[in-house]
Amino acid sequence: MKNAAVSYPLGMDSISRRHFLARSSSVALGFTGLSASLARGSTAGLLDALIRSDDDPIGLGPLIRDPKGILDLPAGFRYTIFSKIGEQMDDGFHVPGKHDAMGAFPFINDDGSIDPDRTIIIRNHEIEDAHKTTGPFKAKGSLDRIDRSKIYDAGHGRPSRGGTTTMIYNTKSQTLEQHWLSLAGTERNCAGGITPRNSWLTCEETAAVKGERFEQDHGFVFEVPATTSPSLAEPRPIKAMGRFMHEACCTDPKTGIVYMTEDRHDGLIYRFVPNDATDLHAGGRLEALSIVGVPSFDTRNWDRQSVQVGQKLAVRWIPLDDILAPKDDLRYRGFDDGAARFARGEGMWWGNESAYFAATTGGEGYHGQLWRIIPSDDGLHDLLDLFIEPNDPSVLERADNITFSPWGDIVVCEDENKPPHLVGVTMEGALYRIARNEASNSEFAGAVFSLDGSTLFVNLQNPGWTLAIVGPWKQ
């Protein structure tokens, strides 16, 4: 079936879609400029001009020890910590812990213009019932101040503590102006993805079902609009996108198709083809990625090198049924029907007209892989490409959340390295380090750039801080 182009309505959606496309285009332009400079044999190409240093020709320079013992950065860079766990927010609730994936959005004024100094950030909180960490309802009586219809799962009097918070950050003054709870009562919101509708798709990384603990089933995707004043989103699960341990997602702006990862050692890669790209609640098809001619293919490269770096595999998408999966068996049934198996699909981001994603424990030694899905115009000739597989923890260890930089490189958040790093990856597959977590061995999470490209936002999941990093991204 041919994937038709999507027509978005005028107004705020068209504004947000232009910014969504601009971000994707900047990535493509960065890649084009780099390719052109390499073809000319130039040493003054786009990548060199942006991030050359004497010590590391493809990086930002060596990391310098932070005297505060928090974040090591290259020379000329600095950070600000804001919206810490436990702080009281503007709505009276408290910043939940387990900061995770984030999306950045334009601040749209009432007259439809864009405020160039302000960025809206929506942040996930990967809190599950077993976690001993602060939730939004820390203050006594705080639950009495919330409309119970705005809490997805009241949990028989003990609501789920995951969800999202929204922040407004001024990149000109480098200050947090507001933050508030924007989705309540969901469980273990790990990653997600931005949409062309100026909204954030937040994903539950759980397959918990209702019973003695929960009043609702979990394992769904929820949509949170990027609002400019404190408000709670409608906690409405998009059930047509399936129930499984959702991790991250990204949207093809041309077709409205949403690609999704699953954080299991034997997970699948999914896509959701919506009936209406402007309203995911209107239903659609849930499908799983399969390799043409090799049903039930194992991409993990654990026992043997089944896929080589740079190898492009033809893809077909197989339909899935019983997608609410009460037995949490969607990945097993999909694999039996021919879907390919991946090693903990985690971070995912759209750029360069492709869906890039991390397989956190893929490759020999379980050190991680980066893949990309290259969609075709007719939807019938998509390709899967193993982008990098370093198999070396000193280079990259357990890639998790990913994003694209304004100059066209991927920024990867490491998980489980000691200490973890932010790692840059060029479109040629070269890697360099952007930052090192000296505060703890906790993972980086949620890396995303402000719309003006001046600031890289990222979380230290534990203790629960969001940081803004600024410096000479463009020399």
Which tens digit of pLDDT belongs to each residue from 204-224?
999 999 999 999 999 999 999
Helix (H) or strand (E) holding 30, with range, is helix 12-40
- Tokens in use for 375? 């969609």
Is pLDDT larger for residue 121 or for residue 25? 121
- Please give the pLDDT value at position 24: 57
Q: 308 burial class (0-12, 13-18, 19+ CB within 10 angstroms)?
A: exposed
- Please give the pLDDT value at position 50: 33
68 φψ region: left (φ > 0), alpha (ψ -120 to 50), beta (else) = alpha
Specify the pTM: 0.90
Taking residues 365-387, report their average pLDDT: 95
Q: How far apart are CA 247 and CA 244, in angstroms?
A: 9
Question: pLDDT tens digit string along 197-206?
Answer: 999 999 999 9
Instruction: Using the predicted structure, report yes or no on whether residue 36 has a pLDDT greater than 90.
Output: no
DSSP-derived secondary structure for 191-225: EEEE-TTSEEEEEE-----SSSS-SS----EEEEE
Contact predicate 278/197, CB 8 Å: yes
Question: pLDDT tens digit string along 150-173?
Answer: 999 999 999 999 999 999 999 999
29: helix, strand or coil: helix
Instruction: Using the predicted structure, report yes or no on whether residue 17 has a pLDDT greater than 80.
Output: no
Taking residues 261-268, report their average pLDDT: 98
Instruction: Using the predicted structure, report yes or no on whether residue 48 has a pLDDT greater than 50.
Output: no
Question: pLDDT tens digit string along 397-416?
Answer: 999 999 999 999 999 999 98
Contact predicate 160/199, CB 8 Å: no
Pairing of strands 189-194, 175-184: unpaired
Percent of the chain with pLDDT over 70: 88
By C-alpha distance, which of 287, 205, 185, 310 is closest to 240?
Answer: 287
